[in-house]
Amino acid sequence: MDNLIKTLAGELHVQPQHAQAVVALLDEGNTVPFIARYRKEQHGAMDDQTIRLLADRLTYLRGLEARKGEVLAAIEGQGKLTEELTEAVANAATLAEVEDLYRPYRPKRRTRAGIAREKGLEPLTDLLLAGKGDGGLEGLCEPYIDPEKGVETAEDALQGAKDILAEGFSDDANIRGRLRAQLQKNGSLCSVAAVEEDTVYRLYYDFQEPIKKLQSHRVLAINRGEREGALKVSVQPGSWDAAGLILREAASPRHPYYAVLQETAQDAWDRLIFPSLEREVRNDLTDMANEQAIRTFSLNLRPLLMQPPVKNRVTLGFDPAYRTGCKLAVVDGTGKVLETAVIYPTKPHNKIAEGKQTLRRLCDRHGVTCIAIGNGTASRESEIFVSEFIKEYGGEVSYMVVSEAGASVYSASKLGAEEFPDFDVSLRSAVSIARRLQDPLAELVKIDPKAIGVGQYQHDMPQAQLSQALDGVVEDCVNAVGVDLNTASPSLLRRVAGVSPTVAKNVAAYREEKGSFHTRKELLKVPKLGPKAFEQCAGFLRVPESENVLDHTAVHPESYKAAEKLLKLCGYGLQDVGNLSELGKRLDELGTEKAAEACGVGVPTLRDICAELQKPGRDPRDELPPPLLRTDVMDLADLVPGMQLMGTVRNVVDFGAFVDIGVHQDGLVHVSQITDRFIRHPSEAVAVGDVVEVAVLEVDAPRKRISLTMKKPKAQL
């Protein structure tokens, strides 16, 4: 355990006692959001992402220790375990190292070396390697000729010995480690065309790049091309002497049988070691690429979920379509559906005047101030139609094109059917699109994160690993914002720390039967929500209807007495919460450490309580720049190089960022055009949802490609 804690602390650059505290808290069944928010004194105020990283590494390292135990037990069962081998396994830092050490002892299918051993040729191998024998190779091999065993000649005996020796080289952990390192250092991944026709993989029809320089998106593209039969892929080892490296510790060039050993080493490399290492390298590259892609997806998902809501505005959701008509849904400031309609302004119907008349009626009747347009089929035509309507209408109406990724998944889901049993699938989509603009987080939690569409190659990822990472991001975002206990959907409630899907349904059922919750403590009456679950979830759930103002805040019930004590020390009472602009100043005058001791909590917790009392129920999303709403629309033909525009980042990938500049087709800001400073990944400078200023570099109208830059012209620097 001490070594495990030391490893975690070193890798994450945290204090060992803090790493140990997090491990203990996780083992006690505490959730990451609860640990991050309410146990800061114990872990030195690590953030939720660091704690999740620690939890993932903890799982890996414990799995590594378990595997070490299995390997040692298996070798001991064969009676071959030595102190040296035990120490080597104990010191192995990765699963690959453990498997290399276990390789010679792993049960094997019948091999050429195994057959040679059955013929009694293993002693000859030892003599050959030791350079023994005065009569040369033939004299060395002659005693082992035995026709009854299938060894007809000296050459047969020598070949059997070489087979045993080649397998020994292949199974040697040190040799494999050296060769693996050289292959990773000098090798290249190569791909050539496997088909004659042009495909999306044409960039990789004659491709070669060093393994150490390969970018993850290239690995994933090549893997997919190979899987679809468009590419043939191989690893080229580069120019280095594999046989010499194998023999480095086994024999010198002065060895009497060096030529035979060299031939054997080359055979071991070509037949046994390289094919195995090639698979390993490909797997390692894929694992690296998957981890990077999952990390990118997670980085994109967080700001997407945390986009500022457009609060308290009556919004019209506009789900574009051609033949079946555009579906409209008006929702009030709380997301309640007020009215739905269908219009046909796009081809083949082109009923533009009728559509505008319907829009006018809906806007007049309900006071619509914002229109959310889905970005799917017919989005471009719908955006032009809405833009023209806004100009003619003249009211305070604006619009935004909203990603509808996953909206159809939600609409056709059991959840969508339960929420709107009387609506058809497309009308549910219109409601979802409107609510995505009003409160992205509350709406997007209803959708599988993989369907939200802000990653790359997400369908190629290990789905369990991807889901775990994305679910963690959703959980962190939901708990960072907090949830209204009396209005939250079961989909939102189940993302709250400590609340299972069953408990979320029970909370909703309790509200249906008993009415609104009036205190946080009332949660304990919900079936299957026990003291542990209450401890985990209570601080993240808000009860605006409660008479206790602390139930409206992120102050945990376990700290209510501390909050009341703090208020009293500073000359306030609970009735003053929300009007405490001088609280921080008075706390400073008292001395934070002294006040924390008096209140019976740590300094980090006291500071959190102070901040929450000053701004009860604070939504961290309110501090972000508002989304970019538009009233007009541009065409691709309107763009010229040098044009300055404002846009919204829609997706961030390894090679750049895609930005919506209001022309339906997102433009690409290549990583080299994001900033003048050096960055390893675009996510270091931009995030999904950012409103950025860009300039047009190039427009390729036939291919509908727009190249943008975020760099300032030299004159503006």
Query: pLDDT for 588-643, tens place per residue?
Result: 999 999 999 999 999 999 999 999 999 888 888 887 777 777 767 667 888 889 88
Residues 177, 303: Cα–Cα separation, whole Å: 41
Residue at a domain's end among 623, 650, 667: 623
Q: In percent, how much of the chain has pLDDT > 70? A: 98
Largest CA distance in the chain: 107
Mean pLDDT, residues 565-586 taken together: 91
Same domain, 344 and 425: yes
Q: Sort 372 into a burial class: Cβ within 10 Å, 0-12 / 13-18 / 19+.
A: buried
Instruction: Supply the pTM of this predicted model.
Output: 0.80
Answer with the residue of higher pLDDT: 394 or 84: 84
Same domain, 599 and 641: no
Asked if residue 251 is part of any domain, the answer here is no
Asked if residue 363 is part of any domain, the answer here is yes
Residues 380, 386: Cα–Cα separation, whole Å: 10
Asked if residue 119 is part of any domain, the answer here is no
Q: In percent, how much of the chain has pLDDT > 90? A: 71
Q: Which residue has the tokens 């931009």?
A: 686
| 466 band by pLDDT with thresholds 50, 70 and 90 | confident
Indicate the number of domains in the chain: 4
Same domain, 345 and 320: yes
Residues 308, 286: Cα–Cα separation, whole Å: 35
DSSP 76-89: HHTT---HHHHHHH
Mean pLDDT, residues 342-354 taken together: 95
Going across the sheet that includes 398-402, the strands are: 337-343, 326-331, 315-319, 370-374, 398-402
Nearest by Cα to 256 from 127, 123, 120, 122: 127
Lowest mean pLDDT, pick from 320-324, 579-583, 591-595: 579-583
Residues 652, 397: Cα–Cα separation, whole Å: 30
In this model, does residue 717 exceed pLDDT 70? Answer: no
Would you state the pLDDT for residue 405? Answer: 79
Q: Residue 259 is encoded by which pair of tokens?
A: 């030529």
In this model, does residue 715 exceed pLDDT 60? Answer: no
CATH code of the domain in which 581 resides: 1.10.150.310
Q: Which residue has the tokens 């433009």?
A: 667
Residues 691, 661: Cα–Cα separation, whole Å: 10
Would you state the pLDDT for residue 311? Answer: 86
Answer with the residue of higher pLDDT: 434 or 406: 434
Same domain, 333 and 462: yes
| 88 band by pLDDT with thresholds 50, 70 and 90 | very high
H and E: helices and strands count for the chain: 30, 15
Domain of residue 357: give its range. 315-474
CATH code of the domain in which 77 resides: 1.10.10.650
Mean pLDDT, residues 526-532 taken together: 96
Q: Which residue has the tokens 């975020």?
A: 710
CATH code of the domain in which 651 resides: 2.40.50.140
Lowest mean pLDDT, pick from 219-233, 353-367, 404-418: 404-418
Lowest mean pLDDT, pick from 46-55, 117-126, 332-341, 405-414: 405-414
| 714 band by pLDDT with thresholds 50, 70 and 90 | low
Nearest by Cα to 652 from 706, 685, 688: 688
Residues 426, 692: Cα–Cα separation, whole Å: 32
Lowest mean pLDDT, pick from 81-85, 123-127, 395-399, 492-496: 395-399
